[in-house]
Amino acid sequence: MVRVLTAGHVNWDVTLRVDRLPEPDGESRIHSQRSSGGGSAANVAVALSRLAVATGLIGSLGDDQHGLLARRELDGADVDTGGLKTVEDAETAVKYLLVDEVGEVAVLGNDGANEAVTPADVDAEYVRSAEHVHLTSQRPDTAARIAELAADAGITVSFDPGRRLADRDFSAALADADIVFLNDKEAKSVMEGEYHESRFADRVLVIKRGSDGAEVYTPRASYGHPGFGIDPVDTTGAGDAFAAGFISALLDSDDYERALERGNACGAITAAEEGARVAPSVDDLEAFLDSQF
């Protein structure tokens, strides 16, 4: 049985470390290249599993070599892939991540097969088997279906819609979400766009501010954490690691200050190393937190 079920994109990432992010008509020098599994739903699932949380995944891959490698990484991380769909004669989504010398990231990619899961493909019993469901960017109708199933079963739902929030109608999924994760830019879009601030009055809103920490707004109180003083090497996956640390802390407690601390710690540890799949183990997290005091 899984405690947390994540749903959304499963990609293959190609990370290029460059001297600077390219501008129009400009050129950048590549220092190094590496490849690994990626995608927010898969990243959160792996990070939760490293934190000793039994985790399952709903998503889709192509039947190509990249899909085989991505599935093998998930299996190796002890993520339950019972909800992972393989699409015949399709390519797995590949994202090219350009990381500059201060850890900032730009992304190029194709959609591939990563939105092949339709509402009809969702296994209702698989969703109902979880204690918590975490949604990431995906087809809005599929996100809405998963959120509806979870909400009807009394299962808590968190949603991190990601950078495409302004371009997609996630209103149905947001309506069933108990916790919403946004970064600074996404929060501005939410407050100024169709998702007005009042829409979040009865739920938990988490604003991720990168190296400046994070804030949580609940119906009863607000909390903040300044983050940890680390020099970022690669911010890829840091937000996903933050979500994993935050969710894992709330599974057995409603201590939002502790959740913020652990989320920020997971994000900081991940940003201090290369790659999106470097989230900490339980021992790594505890050692890091002990070193801060």
Residues marked active site are found at: 240
Q: Could you give phi then psi for residue 145, rounded to 5 degrees?
A: -65, -45
- Rounded CA separation 35/211 (Å): 25
Helix axes 238-250, 256-271, angle to 10 degrees: 150
**Is residue 13 a contact partner of residue 95, using CB atoms and an 8 Å limit?**
yes
Place of tokens 């920490």: 213
Extract the tokens encoding 90. 């399709």
Whether the Cβ atoms of residue 7 and residue 57 lie closer than 8 Å to each other: yes
Q: What single DSSP character describes residue 113?
A: T
Q: Is the separation of the CB atoms in 70 and 16 below 8 Å?
A: no
Look at strands 105-109 and 156-160 and give their pairing: unpaired
* Helix 238-250 with 40-50: angle, nearest 10 deg: 50
Please give the structure tokens belonging to residue 131.
């204690």
Amino acid code (one letter) for 59: G
CA dihedral 176, 181, 186, 190 (to 10 degrees): 30
